Structure 1
Amino acid sequence: MAQAVNYHPSHMESYLQELIGRPFRDIQAEKERLKRKSESLEQEKLSYLQSNYKTLVELADCQATTKEFLGNTKELSQNIFGKKDALYNITSQSQQFLSSISIHHQQALLMHRMQPQVSSILKIPELMDSCIQKEYFSEALEFQGLTHRLRDRFASIAVIQDLVYQIEALSEKLSAKFLLQLQKPLKQYTLIKIVTYLRVTSKLSEAEIKYIFLFYAWQQLQSNLKSLIPLLDYNNPELYLKRYLQVIRDRAFSLLFQYQSVFYESTTLYADPANSTVDNANLSFNEASTLHQLDHESLQSFSQNIISSFVKKLVKEICYVLETFLPRVHETTVRSSLLLQLYYCNQSLAKVGTDMSIHLYTILGKEWLDMLISQAEEKPF
């Protein structure tokens, strides 16, 4: 009974059981009906095939194409799987490239926002060059300082690197301009500024700056002395000697005083009499190129003795003129006047640390001692 309850016959079995219960005549009629229905369905099938022939052909072609595509896809998938490492590397490189593009894009946006400021920055070399041409040195140094601050903050930016390159070239031009200024007779305040600027802008050492200063100072002194040549009369040199001592007293004193002020030196400039000749000096002032051949130790030694070399050369110059022309002066009154002027000249030079008394005694002998004694007996001038 449990099996009967759980048994569920199919539709076909139900249909057969129903036929079994019918008369034979009904079964024969049902057979004819089914046969007609089968023929009708077959006819509909043929009609459907005929009406949808093209669609079925296209469907078959699509099926074949799909199978072929699936085969190719499978092969391609196998190739891709075999090259997954290479694809991973390419993908990583692409990501890095996209990251760099993003960074450059951000920088481009920043440059766009900062375009007015960038335009001003790009004009710095032009403005600095204009200041150099017009000798606006303080302003030129301000532009140089601004560029150095930009370099310290944005050293990796190509625009700033190019700006720094241009400013460095202009700095060399500015240093050359300062050196040209030293060739001119300048007031003390201006001279101090020019030397200070040289210390900031040039690559010269302190010894080299001292040398250049005194080299041009010597040229200026010689230029002033050469202007006296038209006054020279070898048979009557009194006027020439008078003007010569006046120039020495004024210009040499001024140059030595400027040197002490500019380089903050107040030590005695006078050298030991035993070594008081320019021949014993480290270098000749007429050989500027020799300075660059010195090593660091020699350069330091030269820095300590350069002013002494200058004074030795100055003293030798004065002594040469006196030995050459003073013996040609025979009149007692004129000689006394020249000796007195020479005394005052020596006194002026003594104020800046040098003294020619021993050299003058070698040339003039007792005549110079008498001058010193007579001046010592009088009240200070």
Structure 2
Amino acid sequence: MDYESDRVLKLIFSNDVPGYDRDKDEISLYLTKLGNYKIGQLKKEENRLEDENKLIEDQTLDLAVLNYRTIIQTSDCSKKIYAGFVKTENRVENLLQPLSVLEEKCQRFLESTADINSKKNLNLSTSKNYKKVLEILEIPQLMEYYINEGHYEEALELASYVQKLGTKHSEIGVIKGVVLAVEKNWHSLLIKFLDELKTDLQLPKCLQVFGHLRRMQAFGSNELKLIFLHTRDTWLNNLLSSIPKDDAQNHLTKTIEVTRINVFNIMTQYKALFPNEDVGVSSNFGSCEGKKLFNTWLNKKIETFLNTLEEDLNRGVSSLDTALGQCMYFGGSFSRIGVDFRALVVSIFVRVITKNFVDKIINVNTNFDYDMKNFTLVNSSTITLHQKIRSTLVMGEVNATDLSPPESLLDYTPLAILCNGYLSALSELMLCAPISLVFDVVNTLERSLERVSHGIYQLYKREKQVFSAIQRENFIKFLSSFAYDLCPYIQRCLQAVFPQQVLANHLGITLLELQNERISFMNQNSILDPIKNLLPERLSSKN
């Protein structure tokens, strides 16, 4: 409908047009029809409309009268229908309330049925592939069987297969369980390989075990070297600790043999396992680089051996020269690989020999002090008897090469026991007497004799007031025997232990220069200084 039609309608109807939205097209047609009427027709149109409206009302009334019963029934039916709709609405509302719960339960049911369906499909698939699943589930048991039976190649292949299977199907629970079980067996296999390295392995077996460790790819290059050295060191330490320690000589001999043989075996195995690495002495022992590991371990083994050597020597071995020869052979064999530790061995022997000699001399002096406390000058008859025995011997001074003890010492028990103690210490030293000890030995004997001289002087101070003429004469002879028999005799024994020609050749000097420098000679004046005023004038002038 156009704008002009709207204006006409507003002129006709001051308010809204009744039924405009419903009869919009009819009203538009009627307005068009009105627009075609003449004035006379327009004047009659109002009366016509009133007549038509009255006619319609009469017809409606007649229709209502004629159909009154129907209208009443229709009204009652409408009420009933309305009441039914109200009841239906209430019931629908009551029905809608549990429908939400029912919907949720139905949704859950659908989800559960879907899960059941998936499980059903899974079970069907599992039943179809039962043999394959069973084979996968039996892999851990099969690997354990291979490990127990020693089939390490097959066990490693199974572990590699399961590792790939786990990477490909990591979301499957069964595969995860199999992977975890195989990893446990894999770790037990790794521990078994490490335990085998702690046993007595020959080179082929060692190469085989280490090949398996490399295939497992559990360690890097330096870690493999550390593991090899640690496990073999554990085995070697257990072997050394099993040697009985009751006899020091036997323990030292077996320690040398076990250490020398097995360290060389470990060295051979190490070279075979790591052929691109040099084995020899290195100055950087604190480094963790691959090339330094073995050298550090080797130096540690040498240090351990030297500690054991010193402990056994201090405990006392029956033959120092035998032990020294074995150690020199041991060190010499290691010199072929640049690990000559003989100088360290010598220093230990020198230290132990010196300690043993000093301890023996100290013990000799202690015994002498004890003997001097109980010593009384012998009577003249005993001295005369020994003098008669000496008169039957060849007269004259004892030459420098005579090493038999002076007969005069038999007159005095403390001096005889003292001489025996010195001879025992020097005899033991002579079996293994390093030339470098000559100064220490000379100084030790010199201090010992000075202590003896001082002890004799203390005896004189203690007993001089009660000396009889015979006792004084015997005491003078006692002094003479110590000063002119025992001291020169010990000097000759000392030169027998350290021959002057050997010392001269070692030092690169002549015998005359050696004697002028007083090398290997005790200071007699220092020794006799406490008793020099008590010696007879004749003997003093002779000295």
Over 3 Å counting, the alpha-carbon distance change for 1:158 and 1:342 in structure 2 is: closer
2:302 to 315, 332, 337: 315
Shift of 1:101: 5.5
2-structure distance, mates of 1:115, 1:70: 63
Shift of 1:118: 0.8
Residue 173 (str. 1) matches residue 188 (str. 2): yes
Specify the alignment match of 2:54 in structure 1: none
Specify the alignment match of 2:40 in structure 1: none
Specify the alignment match of 1:220 in structure 2: 235
Shift of 1:252: 0.5
Specify the alignment match of 1:359 in structure 2: 344
Shift of 1:316: 1.0
More relative contact order, 1 or 2 (CA 8 Å, 6+ apart)? 1
Contact 1:211 1:306 in 2 (8 A): yes
Amino acid at match of 1:247: V
1-structure distance, mates of 2:139, 2:299: 47
Shift of 1:203: 4.9
SS at match of 1:301: coil
Over 3 Å counting, the alpha-carbon distance change for 1:154 and 1:70 in structure 2 is: farther
Specify the alignment match of 1:184 in structure 2: 199
Query: Deviation digits for residues 257-298 of structure 1, max 9, x if unmatched?
Result: 2123224452234222xx7xxxxx65xxxxxxxxxxxxxxxx
Specify the alignment match of 1:338 in structure 2: 326
Q: Percent identity?
A: 19
1:114 to 100, 120, 129: 129
Query: Deviation digits for residues 101-152 of structure 1, max 9, x if unmatched?
Result: 5554443332111101111211112222233333332222222222212212
TM-score (norm 2): 0.40
Over 3 Å counting, the alpha-carbon distance change for 1:343 and 1:203 in structure 2 is: closer
Contact 1:147 1:164 in 2 (8 A): yes
SS at match of 2:210: helix
Specify the alignment match of 1:23 in structure 2: none
Specify the alignment match of 1:40 in structure 2: none
Contact 1:270 1:355 in 2 (8 A): no
Contact 2:166 2:179 in 1 (8 A): yes
Specify the alignment match of 1:245 in structure 2: 256
Contact 2:140 2:185 in 1 (8 A): yes
Shift of 1:98: 6.5
1:1-381 matches, within 5 Å, as 72=88, 76=92, 103-201=118-216, 203-204=218-219, 206-229=221-244, 233-234=247-248, 237=249, 241-272=252-283, 301=288, 305-323=292-310, 325=313, 334=322, 337-338=325-326, 341-347=329-335, 350-351=336-337, 354-356=339-341, 359-360=344-345, 362=347
The answer for unaligned runs of 5 or more in structure 2 is 1-79, 351-433, 436-543
Query: Deviation digits for residues 337-378 of structure 1, max 9, x if unmatched?
Result: 53663355324xx44x644355356557999xxxxxxxxxxx
1-structure distance, mates of 2:339, 2:106: 82
SS at match of 2:288: helix
Contact 1:131 1:140 in 2 (8 A): yes
SS at match of 2:147: helix
Higher Rg: 2
TM-score (norm 1): 0.55
2-structure distance, mates of 1:341, 1:354: 13
